Amino acid sequence: MKKLMIALGAFFCALPLFAQPILTKDNIEQVLKAMTLEEKATLCVGGARAAVVNGVTSGQAVGPVQGAAGNTRPLARFGIPTTYLADGPAGLRINPTRQGTTETFYCTGFPIGTLLASSWDVDLVEKVTTAMGNEVLEYGVDVLLAPGVNLHRNPLNGRNFEYFSEDPVLSGNMAAAYIKGVQSNNVGTSIKHYAANNQETNRNEDDAIISARALRELYLKNFEIAIKKAKPWTVMSSYNKLDGKYTQQSEDLLTKVLRNDWGYEGIVMTDWGSKAATADATAAGNDLMEPGNETEIQRIVDAVKNGTLSEADLDRNVRNMLNYIVKTPAFRKYNYSNKPDLKAHAKVARDAAAEAIVLLRNEQNTLPLKGGENVALYGIGALEFVAGGTGSGNVNKAYVVNMKEGLENAGFRVDQSLINYYQAYINFQNATRQLTATNNRGFGGFGGSVLANIEVPAAAVTAEAGRNDVAVIVITRNAGEGADRKVPDDFNLSQNEQELINNVSTAFHKVGKKVIVVLNVGGVVETNSWKYLVDAIILPWSPGQEGANAVGDIIAGKVNPSGKLPMTFPMSYFDHPSSMNFPYDYVRGNQGNNRNPVKDVDYTNYEEGIWVGYRYFEKADRAVSYPFGFGLSYTTFSYSKPTVKATADGFIATVTVTNTGKVAGKEAVELYVSAPAGGMVKPEKELKAFAKTGMLQPGQSQVLTFTVSNYELASFNQDVNRWEAAPGTYTVKFGASSANIPASATYKLGKQQTWNVSDAFLNVAIKDMTF
């Protein structure tokens, strides 16, 4: 009798559990079966858009993590919690203050993506994002909406600062390291914006028309590398259309390429603002609409009921969502502290900036300075130093070190009267400036800005040259989400800036003193017309809250620069073939939806095909101001005779790098491959791998090893829809930059190898540029 009671008891206890299982990682199918259609739709639609109230993102829509960009919806009866999603690439973006508490919630402003890529150091990037991911975890966020990996197709894209490079191998490997670091904290990432979101102008509607070859070799390759190597928890589809379809509704992109070809197993979410065709997006493999609303839930329910969306497709997405939920800290009920170690992370940010800053010019060893010099510091941006860009990539950091502080911290004396002059102007501007509410994306409106530079009278410059040892001029750009940059006064220096460089160089050189330019910019600027006027150029990009300290350390020689360019600096903007069809002269219209009344930007033909960045400049034999992969050091390196050994599916290469100079330093080596002649037309050479030495003392050597597979050597033959590695002799080039190859060797591939892919992006009517 007793036994029967126990058995009955167990049966009745199990019954409700069976009807209404509480989610665990082992009962996903059971939970899926128990869900109603409405519940399934609810899980695939995010919480409502967070409102911005008095310049602060309202916590209402996003619960306790105020300022998080969005969330997923809870389903209490299955124990499914709300999970939180927040931006975004240079650190976590949440509100720094909250009503009802004096506690603050600042995050670390790390270097922007472009600076991280300039390090050419995957270990460094992983270290940075391990710290970043810790802030995600400790502030109660489940997914960081980063990294941004879109290619630098054109230098004017307003969001290039968030992205890494013009090259897919550098971008993809940077993204992989980024994802590994963040996700080592058991929080997620969202690699974005998938795919071809290469301009901000009319980004919601623009149709990027790209050939299958250019897509597979460039615009998808970076995602492919990162997704295969690092398995991000989530992918964010982009706003734009790609070859005629919104990416969030493209089965080719989201299912055939992403899941079938690459084996991706995480979720796909929309970028912020899904489209009306929610059911189409669901069918195509977009699992989550962000942010969401009740209408979208209803659309999914209706579509299943009227047979336009199969429940099997919805179930597939729900299964993906449940697999995502069980990994999250929210699901684990992680007891977050709201107290990450910001001090320790500031140091990580500073060290990373120092390792990645690029030295572009250093005539007659102008740098490093001896130490303790009197510095005349020019440019409003010296005081209003830009740590990062605006928009969702902004970080609400507690402070930003400016260039005056950076120089002083490195032991220099900064000319105070010049500082007073600039400060008075800034105070005046602040007092008179119309107060625009700045939300937590760091801007009053969309887009970035060029900091106006006031003139410094010629007589004053002469006096400053007399009483100082050296001049430092800061050139500043602040790019941002929502607008592309322009050619005059942004890509090109303004007249005021040119005059400043001219006047300061003339006055200082007259008395035998040097001039250093610091480019505190978010994207490429024109350098060729003025670089010969100055003695040194340092490129810290937007280096995060501690970046000015890193610049100070480089000027003082405490750090030997080892960063290299992740893109080409052309002679002129119009040298880029993509300038033929990039909306560089677009003026924002007033017809809503970013549309320009006079200029059609509904589509962008990527007519240059694969000829992006150095691939084009080398093939066209066009001179550049600074080549891809270029960066100077305070020491010199030699490369030994390399080795290349065939493996079962490719080769392993080594090269020994020796520090042949007088100070310790690090060297990034870029491995390029030139394909055998015959077959498809290919770039002169393409980056296939890269590696960086540790700190080498003078005379010290290190062996660097590179692994390349035959698949990585292949090009995409769109006529037969497959990857092909041509047979023959490949030249393996070990570059200090794309234009400087100190060592090379060969690799022989006996017979052609091919790899088939899904039928996707076939029949795109675009003719690529040919050579």
Beta bridge partners of 476: 520
Q: Is 271 a catalytic residue?
A: yes
Cα(186)–Cα(59) distance, rounded to whole angstroms?
A: 24
Q: What angle do CA 667, 672, 674 make, to 5 degrees?
A: 155
The token duo for 78 is 């299955």
Instruction: Using CB atoms within 10 Å of the CB of residue 523, give its burial: 0 to 12 exposed, 13 to 18 middle, 19+ buried.
Output: buried
The DSSP H or E segment spanning 552 is: helix 547-556
Q: Which are the contacts of 36, defined by CB distance < 8 A and separation ≥ 6?
A: none
Tally helices (H) and strands (E) across the chain.
21, 32
- Which residues 509-538 are close enough to bind ligand BGC by CB under 6 A? none
How many other CB atoms are found less than 10 A from the CB of residue 145? 30
Q: Which of residues 15-74 bind ligand BGC (CB under 6 A)?
A: 69
Instruction: Name the residue with tokens 């050579």.
Output: 771
Cα distance between residue 138 and residue 342, in whole Å: 11
Cβ closest to ligand BGC, residue 165 vs residue 549: 165
Report the residue number, 272 or 443, with the smaller CB distance to ligand BGC. 272
Q: What is the contact mask toward ligand BGC in residues 725 to 744, using x (rule: CB under 6 A)?
A: --------------------
Shortest CB 271 distance to ligand BGC, Å: 5
- Residues ≥6 apart with Cβ < 8 Å to 697: 659, 664
- Complex with ligand BGC: residue 69 or 284, whichever CB lies closer: 69
SS3 call for 762: coil
Count of residues that bind ligand BGC according to CB under 6 A: 8
State how beta strands 241-242 and 413-414 pair: unpaired
Q: Which spans in 28-167 are helix H?
A: 28-34, 37-43, 113-118, 122-138
Using the minimum distance from each CB to ligand BGC, give the nearer residue, 203 or 299: 203
Instruction: List binders of ligand BGC among 253-282 (CB under 6 A).
Output: 271-272
Q: Which is nearer to ligand BGC, 87 or 126 (CB)?
A: 87
Q: If binding is defined by CB under 6 A, does position 484 make contact with ligand BGC?
A: no
Map residues 366-405 to x or -, x wherever contact with ligand BGC holds by CB under 6 A: --------------------------x-------------
Angle at alpha carbon of residue 43, lines to 38 and 48, rounded to 5°: 100
Task: Count the neighbouring beta carbons within 10 Å of the beta carbon of residue 713.
Answer: 21
Least separation, in Å, of the C-beta of 266 and ligand BGC? 16
Q: What is the CA radius of gyration of the chain?
A: 27
- From 391, 395, 440, 435, select the one nearest 52 (Cα to Cα): 440
| Residues numbered 132-191 forming contacts with ligand BGC, rule: CB under 6 A | 145
Binding string to ligand BGC for residues 320 to 359, with x set by CB under 6 A, is what? Answer: ----------------------------------------
Side chain identity at 170, as an amino acid letter?
Answer: L
Question: Is 88 near ligand BGC (CB under 6 A)?
Answer: yes
Q: Of residues 49, 73, 192, 241, which one binds ligand BGC by CB under 6 A?
A: 192
For residue 426, the 8-state DSSP code is H
| Min dist. Cβ of residue 189 to ligand BGC (A) | 11
Q: How many CB atoms lie within 10 A of CB 63?
A: 16
Q: Is residue 195 close enough to count as binding ligand BGC by CB under 6 A? A: no
- DSSP conformation class of 748: E
Shortest distance (Å) from residue 149 CB to ligand BGC = 11
- The residue (of 86 and 212) whose beta carbon lies closer to ligand BGC is 86
Closest contact distance (angstroms) between CB of 360 and ligand BGC is 29
Q: Tell me whether residue 440 or residue 737 sits nearer to ligand BGC (CB atom).
A: 440
What three-state secondary structure class fits 550?
helix
Amino acid identity of residue 385, one-letter, is F
Kindly tell me which of 193 and 514 has the beta carbon lying closer to ligand BGC.
Answer: 193
The minimum distance between CB 273 and ligand BGC, in angstroms, equals 7
Annotated active-site residue in 121, 271, 415, 553: 271
Distance CA 186, CA 740 (A): 41
The CA dihedral of 480, 486, 490, 493, to the nearest 10 degrees, is 170
Q: How far is the CB of 87 from ligand BGC (least distance, A)?
A: 5
In a 13 Å sphere around the CA of 714, the CA atoms on its Cβ side amount to: 24
C-beta of 107: minimal distance to ligand BGC in Å?
Answer: 14
Q: Site for ligand BGC (CB under 6 A): which residue of 39, 87, 351, 526?
A: 87
Cβ proximity to ligand BGC: between 269 and 671 the closer is: 269
Shortest approach of ligand BGC to residue 272 CB, angstroms?
A: 4
The residues that are catalytic are 271
Positions touching ligand BGC (CB under 6 A) are 69, 87-88, 145, 192, 271-272, 392
